[in-house]
Structure 1
Amino acid sequence: MSANGGDSKVAVLVDCDNATPEILEFALRVVPQFGRVVLRRGYGNHTTLANRWQEALVRLAFTPCLQYQYAAGKNTSDIALALDAMEALFDERADTFCLVTSDSDFAYLCRKLRERGATVHIVGEAKSPDALRNASDQFFEWVPPTVKATSEQIPALIQKAEGSKKDDAKAVAKHRPLFVVEAVKLLAAETVEGKVQLGPLGTYLRRTYPSFSPKIYGHSGLMAMLNTYDRLTVEQVVKGSWLVSLSEASGK
């Protein structure tokens, strides 16, 4: 739960023309940590909403937003979703947005919402391009239940029943991505002592890599993850304060 999650008003806007109904329940498990969901809307044409999406939207209390195509090949649903998102922000009905889509066309909307101070989360599929992932504050990848999870996918899929945790731990094998070392090197270079505080490091990693989570790589938290790196040194300076730096052997 985020520090201000209880005060945030969340809008969940679904691009039904570019997503599968099965993703919706996953999205609703993700967003409560950010605040109270005040808007639930699903956008699509008549064929999409009447066939694939009708049951899911009704069952999960979403308002269907039907958009007719005024000309062949024109997708009016995207425009309606974008306009409703900006209107909700300007009317102060929502300050946090969860867009359920894998369409890179929404990357610009994400940037505009964030420029106005809103927080934007994306729930999408593996096909989601980097342009969309990196335009959000945090990206959550939904994986179909029939697809075997990999070490790069969402941590929720490796938090299974107690009996399977050992197998999951072996699968992720405590990975140590190099970009963590590069982040420490970059941030520490800006300090006199060549050390970066744990909190700002975590913030930087999340902002730079929206889908980043230590659990994805098989670690319980950022501290546990950093302690597995031979090239990094973690030290406590005062109670509750930790500093991270490149180890001497890493060759600064």
Structure 2
Amino acid sequence: MSSSDNMRLAVLIDADNAQASLTSAMLAELAKYGTLTVKRAYGDWTTTRLGGWKKQLNENAITPMQQFAYTTGKNATDSAMIIDAMDLLYAADLDGFCIVSSDSDFTRLATRLRESGKTVYGLGQRKTPGPFIAACDKFIFAEVLGGGSAKPTGGGGGGSRRGKGGAKKKADTEPTVEVQETEPQDTSGDESGDESRATTTVSRRTRGKTKQAPEPDPVEDVDDDVDELEDSSEDEEFPAIEELLQPAIEGTAKESGWASLGQVGSYVNKRHSSFDPRNYGYPRLSVLVGDLDWVEVKEVPDANDFPQLWVRVAGKP
């Protein structure tokens, strides 16, 4: 297989399940792994639903692949992408594929491409099902492309400043809301006709509910981008950092107990395709390990006198 610098990659984008606003960032990320020889986006371009993509297609030299939605409830785009991928597998001189989608329907495609000796990169949202993530050699979460993190609910354990922690629990009790109701006053028996239409304001406390006039349904702007996709599944928790790194350090360590950080990173990536320091809020693995109090870090010059980072589990002899 070609080196990463010379790898020829095909980028296949499921426009129905990808964010147009991140197109440039996605391509820049994928370009780290090779030359993006083929760039295609699939969808029904006759609809206004994908209007936000049109500018991105032109600016990033992406070829739009038209696929009509023949039947309601059936995703023709997925089928078109899969067929094209198999055509490219046999007809094009490619080293790998980049599948941009959060759809589990591409799990078998990713597996099949890898069986044919191709490297598969996936890119999608955190809601992406686990089987598709595992089927890729490397999976990148779209949430980290804006310079942030993917906001893990499980986290870095063992002394990291981003230590283990879950999402905040919902309050055990629902909020108490003050509600004002206006009810007609019973004026039966009241001799004063002027008072017959009098009303009284009744204040009472309800728990977790407010009585309001129903609001009209929001009007959808069909020209809006599909950036905000509805989450059909819950985000999976990231493994704790210690659960990932400690076996990697021990599995690649020399007799001295020290392991090359580069080998540690390769070890983790081969076993967890979605591992990325940015998922935990760190730009690089070297920064992440430097923030763990259970990991010792040292610099050792290589044969060319360039400093290389080595790590070991703290407390080891």
Asked if these proteins are the same fold (TM beyond 0.5), I'd say yes
The C-alpha deviation readout for 1:173-197, integer Å capped at 9, x for no partner, is 46582224432366159x7666544
State the Cα distance separating 1:14 from its structure 2 match.
Answer: 0.8
Conserved? CA contact 1:183–1:201, under 8 Å: no
Conserved? CA contact 2:149–2:281, under 8 Å: no
Distance 1:229 1:215, change over 3 A: same
Q: Please say which of residues 44-53 and 205-214 is displaced more in the overlay.
A: 44-53
Conserved? CA contact 1:231–1:249, under 8 Å: no
2:144 & 2:271 partners in 1: Cα distance? 26
2:287 & 2:54 partners in 1: Cα distance? 44
State the Cα distance separating 1:96 from its structure 2 match.
Answer: 2.0
Conserved? CA contact 2:100–2:124, under 8 Å: yes
The C-alpha deviation readout for 1:2-59, integer Å capped at 9, x for no partner, is x923311121111012223213222111122222221111111232676343333233
2:64 & 2:296 partners in 1: Cα distance? 52
Q: Please say which of residues 55-64 and 178-187 is displaced more in the overlay.
A: 178-187
Query: Which residue does the alignment assign to 1:12?
Result: 11
1:39 & 1:76 partners in 2: Cα distance? 21
Conserved? CA contact 1:233–1:245, under 8 Å: yes
Q: Provide the identity percentage.
A: 30
1:93-104 equivalence runs, <5 A: 93-104=93-104
The C-alpha deviation readout for 1:145-175, integer Å capped at 9, x for no partner, is 9x9944647xxxxxxxxxxxxxxxxxx9465
State the Cα distance separating 1:106 from its structure 2 match.
Answer: 0.9
The yes-or-no answer on 1:200 pairing with 2:263 is: yes
State the Cα distance separating 1:103 from its structure 2 match.
Answer: 0.7
Give the one of 277, 283, 286 matched to 1:214.
277
Query: Which residue does the alignment assign to 1:164?
Result: none
Query: Which residue does the alignment assign to 1:248?
Result: 315
Structure 1 unaligned runs (5+)? 154-171
1:55-66 equivalence runs, <5 A: 55-66=55-66
1:148 & 1:198 partners in 2: Cα distance? 23
Conserved? CA contact 1:232–1:245, under 8 Å: yes
Which of the pair has the greater relative contact order for Cα pairs under 8 Å at 6+ separation? 2
Greater per-residue helix proportion? 1
Query: Which residue does the alignment assign to 2:80?
Result: 80
Conserved? CA contact 1:122–1:138, under 8 Å: yes
1:140 & 1:59 partners in 2: Cα distance? 23
Distance 1:139 1:184, change over 3 A: closer
Conserved? CA contact 2:252–2:263, under 8 Å: no
State the Cα distance separating 1:94 from its structure 2 match.
Answer: 2.1
The C-alpha deviation readout for 1:191-232, integer Å capped at 9, x for no partner, is 766654433211011222333333554556434533443433
**Runs of 4+ more than 6 Å apart:** none
Q: What is the identity, as a one-letter code, of the residue corresponding to 2:124?
A: G
The yes-or-no answer on 1:177 pairing with 2:241 is: yes
Query: Which residue does the alignment assign to 1:160?
Result: none
Q: What is the identity, as a one-letter code, of the residue corresponding to 1:248?
A: G
Q: What is the identity, as a one-letter code, of the residue corresponding to 2:270?
A: R
1:1-252 equivalence runs, <5 A: 4-45=3-44, 46-47=46-47, 51-143=51-143, 149-150=148-149, 152=151, 173=161, 177-184=241-248, 187=251, 196-217=259-280, 219=282, 221-234=284-297, 239=302, 244-248=311-315
State the Cα distance separating 1:82 from its structure 2 match.
Answer: 1.1
Query: Which residue does the alignment assign to 2:178?
Result: none
Q: What is the identity, as a one-letter code, of the residue corresponding to 2:242?
A: L
Distance 1:119 1:237, change over 3 A: same
Q: What is the identity, as a one-letter code, of the residue corresponding to 1:9?
A: R
Q: What is the identity, as a one-letter code, of the residue corresponding to 1:34?
A: Y
Conserved? CA contact 2:121–2:139, under 8 Å: yes
1:181 & 1:59 partners in 2: Cα distance? 40
* RMSD across aligned positions (CA): 3.5
Structure 2 unaligned runs (5+)? 153-159, 164-239
1:120 & 1:225 partners in 2: Cα distance? 26
